[in-house]
Amino acid sequence: MGRTIAEKILSDRSGMMAVPGDIVEAAVDYLMVNDVTGLPAFEEFEKLKVKPLIDKLVLIPDHYVPNKDIPSAKQALAMREFARKYGVKNYFEVGRGGICHQVMIEKGFVAPGRLIVGADSHTCTYGALGSFATGIGSTEAAAIMAMGKLWFRVPESQKFILEGEPKRYVCGKDIILNIIGDIGVDGSLYKSMEFYSAFKLPLPDRITISNMSVEAGAKASIFPPDEKVFDYLEDRVKYKPVFADPDADYSDTFHYALSDMVPTVAKPPLPSNTVPASECNIEIDQAYLGSCTNGRIEDLRMAAEILKGNKVHEDVRLIIVPASQRIYARAMREGLFEIFLESGAFISGPTCGACLGGHMGVLAPGEKCVSTTNRNFVGRMGDAKSEVYLASPATVAASAVKGRIVDPKEVKP
């Protein structure tokens, strides 16, 4: 019987045949922690009285950047002092990095065939480039700092076949919302989602899909690497791509016609509560464009296409948050900021910000926000009586113009 990508990577890193359901101890290529998950990890690590394996460790402050209060400043200080104490070279200070998952990809830590873990649930993002990547807890992170390995229960794999070509304004966010709307928030519980598409989805769309796969309960989410990935990584890192065997065994196989999909919105309180954007028509107070899900340059370009020549509705505030310093600089060079500013938008530096209800756009009671972020749980972006509607960059930008959630074609036919 053949093996899936997840099974092959875990087999390689554990030195044994990784069969779904088995427990294996596998060597990790990289461990990422951020400013929120770092402090408890450092505290647990210090109890072990050993030196950290710093070549495997990546430290990225991003959740409360810049610090919003004294507690967040203390968290950031703990990370900074840990990096200095042990000489951690892969520490990305404020102003030199960005949102952790984007930085991990930009800086070459993510590549096909690697096993990567992060003390953040959306670490599964890295599967877009052919890695097995998953989120872990801070205590587990401390163990990896000391030993460089961790136990894993080998997941079953599901196969998702994306057929045809998407329509205009249908992107990775719409695709994953359609899938989660179909299978539910537990449809891939502790499974590895393996994606195939004859259309060869652009890399940013794959990143968005992998990022939100955890909202279906997935342990990992993997796209087999192809020429788009190889071109992106050319002359940057060394790696060994991994592909599933033709006779690999999948617990489920799903088929989706991309041409049937339309711009989609997930209404609160779950990412599975999906409807076509054209049928939503909810008046909004805020529109938020950014996060590890949709803060890339392609997302900003899409929003700029919608906003050019238009104004943000007088009753709406539009907050735009590039996912990294590199993206911020590129958007500025391309003239996107000028379009955003002329439309009446507010531009922030890279930060997780309001995605987790931290700062830079927290909602008051009763306020409604359409957002490119990944979760719309009760109180996710602020008060428990506020509401978050998940959508693509095009839908968010168009809704900001109209003052209500709309299909992008209502603004740019």
- Same domain for 295 and 342, yes or no, is yes
- Same domain for 164 and 309, yes or no, is no
- Nearest CA among 200, 21, 202, 219 for reference residue 127: 219
- Same domain for 35 and 121, yes or no, is yes
- Same domain for 284 and 376, yes or no, is yes
Rounded CA-CA distance 83/305 in Å is: 41
- Same domain for 347 and 242, yes or no, is no
Instruction: Identify the domain boundary among 256, 290, 310.
Output: 256
- Same domain for 306 and 237, yes or no, is no
- Same domain for 96 and 11, yes or no, is yes
Instruction: Identify the domain boundary among 237, 256, 275.
Output: 256
* CATH code of the domain covering residue 286: 3.30.499.10
- Nearest CA among 120, 130, 86, 323 for reference residue 237: 130
How is residue 182 written in tokens? Answer: 């179909």
Containing structural domain, residue 222: 5-256
- What's residue 393's pLDDT? 98
Terminus-to-terminus CA distance in the chain, angstroms?
Answer: 50
- What's residue 236's pLDDT? 87
- Same domain for 97 and 207, yes or no, is yes
Q: How many domains does the chain have?
A: 2
Position 27, amino acid: A
- Same domain for 68 and 129, yes or no, is yes
DSSP SS3 for 82? helix
Tell me the per-residue pLDDT of 282-341, one tens digit each, with 9 for 90 and over.
999 999 999 999 999 999 999 999 999 999 999 999 999 999 999 999 999 999 999 999
Rounded CA-CA distance 250/113 in Å is: 19
CA 57 to chain CA centroid, Å, is 19
- Same domain for 251 and 269, yes or no, is no
- What's residue 388's pLDDT? 98
Q: 10 Å Cβ neighbour count for 84?
A: 10
CA 370 to chain CA centroid, Å, is 17
Tell me the per-residue pLDDT of 48-79, one tens digit each, with 9 for 90 and over.
999 999 999 999 999 999 999 999 999 999 99
Instruction: Identify the domain boundary among 256, 290, 314.
Output: 256
Position 272, amino acid: S
* Intervals of the chain under pLDDT 50: none
- Same domain for 60 and 192, yes or no, is yes
- Same domain for 85 and 227, yes or no, is yes
- What's residue 66's pLDDT? 95
